[in-house]
Amino acid sequence: MSKVTTTRQTDFYDEFAVYDRPSLYYAWAEKNTKPEVSSNQKQQQHELNGVLGVDAVSEQLYFQLHPKAKAEDIAAYFAHFCHDSLQENCTRIDIVLDNNSTHTQKMKGLLYDYLLSREICDTIEVNFLHSPAYSPDFNLAEYEIHLLRLQKLHHLPSTVTMEQIRLSLEDVKYLMSNT
């Protein structure tokens, strides 16, 4: 029996943000008047961004945390992802993602530059398929993010710090290399 090698892979991708303070406020007002919400939004709200990919066949998670989620960060994530996929003999990747502003031509150009600098641009083909903005019934990554929030984040106290959030997410299986 011959060994089957993977040459094509389909992955779903999405990103999410977690904040150290809840953004839910309650207010009351007399009838026919506008409520005035006393807000502590004057304090800076700290943010941690996660990026998550799900292999459609193996269901492996590719998860990283970033302080920001700019086009450069997303392109670097995909470059790591492509490098890891090549290690598994995958030469073509179809990535399903939503129409977020970080998924522009700029990100795709930066990804090409990253792949070129790693000298793997000619050995792997990356195709992007765009889905509607929010479609958890279709995008496996959005569904996994929903589960991640339910299992890891929704039970944290309202006084949680970014470090506690990071520690809570640490035991999520990291499959991305840091090369």
Q: Is there a contact between 175 and 58 (Cβ–Cβ < 8 Å)?
A: no
Per-10-residue mean pLDDT of the chain, 179 residues long, equals 64 84 62 69 67 86 83 90 90 87 84 93 91 79 86 81 82 51
| Closest listed residue to residue 126, CA positions, set 88, 89, 99, 96 | 96
CB atoms inside a 10 Å sphere around CB 9: 19
Rounded to the nearest 5°, which phi and psi values hold at 115? -65, -35
Per-residue pLDDT, 105? 87
What is the CATH classification number for the domain harbouring 126? 3.30.420.10
* 89, part of any domain: yes
Q: Is there a contact between 124 and 90 (Cβ–Cβ < 8 Å)?
A: yes
Per-residue pLDDT, 2? 47
* 76, part of any domain: yes
Range of the domain at 157: 8-21+43-169
What's the structural domain count of the chain? 1
Q: Enter the pTM of the model.
A: 0.74
Per-residue pLDDT, 94? 93
* 77, part of any domain: yes
Per-residue pLDDT, 23? 56
